[in-house]
Chains A and B, each alone.
Chain A
């Protein structure tokens, strides 16, 4: 083997790793971004006390809704993958869109996973400061609207937490995107699905490198989370 070939193989190795990493970040990042646009407003509304209402029916709806969100927060990714697969497969209701085995299919899968997480964490962050902030703001002369804005501002660290937690869950998810993305090389192969396949093939240098990258991303996510939590802590 010529020296040049070795360099070539090496450069392809790193190129593939880069493309896999970038795809992982793009898929999970897009899913979390769209998830935040949906989840933060919904979580905020649910976190507000006034929404609960005093009528028994409203309370019932509220309790059911919140239990449902908590259930969906722990949704098994494989099940989500299966459902999205059934939707997007050629004979499925959305089969004509031709989205199966594309990054878009993977984004949809992770979006369904992260929305309940973002709603749930935002909801509890808003709910935990709602009463105290509202009363203090009103007492200092704020209108209900001004108080609501302040509640959001005071819950900002919790909202940020919801995004970080959701990203952490998405980037390390494997079962769902394996089914809907198909783990196609240079196309829908992500850090997690690549590790699965490289391990099966016995390419441990590749699997370990990908594992190290994934671990580093997970560490950075948790570092960010810790900093946010320290900043938002009430003594």
Chain B
């Protein structure tokens, strides 16, 4: 029996549809990862699963039982769920008291509390932090305390909203280890969101791609990202992923209308709803219009420049869409682009990769 089953879920906020006909099942002991751009509805979905919000339409089952929204039933169910918000919020008390809180509200006795808090703190490598005030911690430490809070009552289901989004690699790896450990040892089912493709590949048993409130694709990492998975892995964020309606041209290529008047030509042959990916290192940047064989040439404006050592990443806004372009330090120094300046980007139709949508 699936731990969570979501059927045809809709969520509206003052007329705006945030989730549209979302359905999926999460099996026992599974790590289920939701990926998707900002604003795709990931956080809303987790908040609904934590019963903090009610769906506008649709049904949710926990262990086969339909969710009821009376305040008594909510508390009973929530006590089987642990959740970590994207924005860490700790209480103005010691680390120990913060982590003990979920046990205290459940009425557990002192000895149990002492033992379980100790275990949770050790799992997140927070030994020695017990007596510190939680508000004095660094961002990474605070997030680890928040995860310890969510785990301490040994929930059946753990919900994590971008648990490592703002963490340095050290803190992030502690968090990732804790997640896989509770999943393996306590058999805790995990539903989490992430922007980090590495993390998605490392942790996820299955992935769902959420886009604009809809689930585009569900499956293992390989099934979902297929051929695009290799280059995608080298980037931590879902960059240059576009979504649109594709038509096959007379030449047998595909022309994908990704909105905002932007059409991207690709050598793959696919009609209908398409998700595609343009590797940032395959995009050419030039100060003047390009006369090249590249089928996709656009005029844009530089909005961000990030020096990454040997390479430089630039964000180029074309209409309403943002492309991430990666060029070498040498060509950066030759072109010397500056923020807000007009540039041209170009990439071949054969560079455009298809992401499989179920």
Chain A positions within 8 Å of B, measured between CB atoms, are: 132-133, 135-144, 146, 150, 153-154, 157, 232-235
Chain B residues positioned under 8 Å from A137 (CB to CB)? 101, 105
Contact of B75 among A135, A143, A157 (CB under 8 A): A143
Contact of A140 among B71, B93, B105, B135 (CB under 8 A): B105
Chain A residues positioned under 8 Å from B50 (CB to CB)? 139
- Asked whether B235 is an interface residue with its Cβ less than 8 Å from the other chain, the reply is no
Q: How far is the CA of A234 from the CA of B83 in the complex (A)?
A: 22
- Please, could you name 11 A-B residue pairs with CB atoms under 8 Å apart, sorted by A? A133-B91, A138-B74, A139-B52, A140-B105, A140-B150, A141-B102, A141-B105, A141-B106, A143-B71, A143-B75, A154-B92
Cβ–Cβ contact A157 & B101, under 8 A: no
B103 (CB) vs chain A CBs: closest residue: A141
Cβ–Cβ contact A136 & B89, under 8 A: yes
Cβ–Cβ contact B153 & A141, under 8 A: yes
Chain B residues positioned under 8 Å from A141 (CB to CB)? 75, 78-79, 102, 105-106, 153
- Asked whether B149 is an interface residue with its Cβ less than 8 Å from the other chain, the reply is yes
Cβ–Cβ contact A139 & B75, under 8 A: no
B interface, size bucket: 20 to 34
Taking A137-B101, A139-B50, A233-B135 as known contacts, 19 extra A-B pairs with beta carbons closer than 8 A to each other, sorted by chain A number, are: A132-B89, A136-B89, A137-B105, A138-B74, A138-B78, A139-B85, A140-B82, A140-B102, A140-B105, A140-B150, A140-B153, A141-B79, A141-B153, A143-B75, A144-B71, A150-B91, A153-B91, A154-B91, A157-B92
A156 (CB) vs chain B CBs: closest residue: B92
Chain B residues positioned under 8 Å from A235 (CB to CB)? 135-136
Chain B positions within 8 Å of A, measured between CB atoms, are: 50, 52, 71, 74-75, 78-79, 82-83, 85, 89, 91-93, 101-102, 105-106, 135-136, 149-150, 153
- Those 3 A-B pairs whose CB atoms lie nearest each other, nearest first: A140-B102, A141-B79, A142-B105
Chain B residues positioned under 8 Å from A146 (CB to CB)? 105
Chain A residues positioned under 8 Å from B79 (CB to CB)? 141
Cβ–Cβ contact A139 & B135, under 8 A: no
Q: How far is the CA of A142 from the CA of B81 in the complex (A)?
A: 12
Shortest Cβ distance from B43 into chain A, in angstroms?
12
Shortest Cβ distance from A56 into chain B, in angstroms?
16
- A132-B89, A154-B92, A157-B92 known; A140 vs B52 contact (CB < 8 Å): no
Shortest Cβ distance from B103 into chain A, in angstroms?
9
**In this complex, which of B50, B71, B75, B153 has the most chain A Cβ atoms within 10 angstroms of its Cβ?**
B75
Contact of B78 among A139, A150, A233, A234 (CB under 8 A): A139
Shortest Cβ distance from B118 into chain A, in angstroms?
18
A140 (CB) vs chain B CBs: closest residue: B102
Cβ–Cβ contact A143 & B105, under 8 A: yes
Contact of B83 among A132, A139, A142, A144 (CB under 8 A): A139
Q: How far is the CA of A144 from the CA of B51 in the complex (A)?
A: 13
A235 (CB) vs chain B CBs: closest residue: B135
**In this complex, which of B82, B91, B106, B135 has the most chain A Cβ atoms within 10 angstroms of its Cβ?**
B91
- A140-B105, A141-B105 known; A234 vs B91 contact (CB < 8 Å): no
Q: How far is the CA of A132 from the CA of B89 in the complex (A)?
A: 7
Chain B residues positioned under 8 Å from A132 (CB to CB)? 89
Shortest Cβ distance from A152 into chain B, in angstroms?
12
Cβ–Cβ contact B52 & A135, under 8 A: yes
Q: How far is the CA of A136 from the CA of B88 in the complex (A)?
A: 10
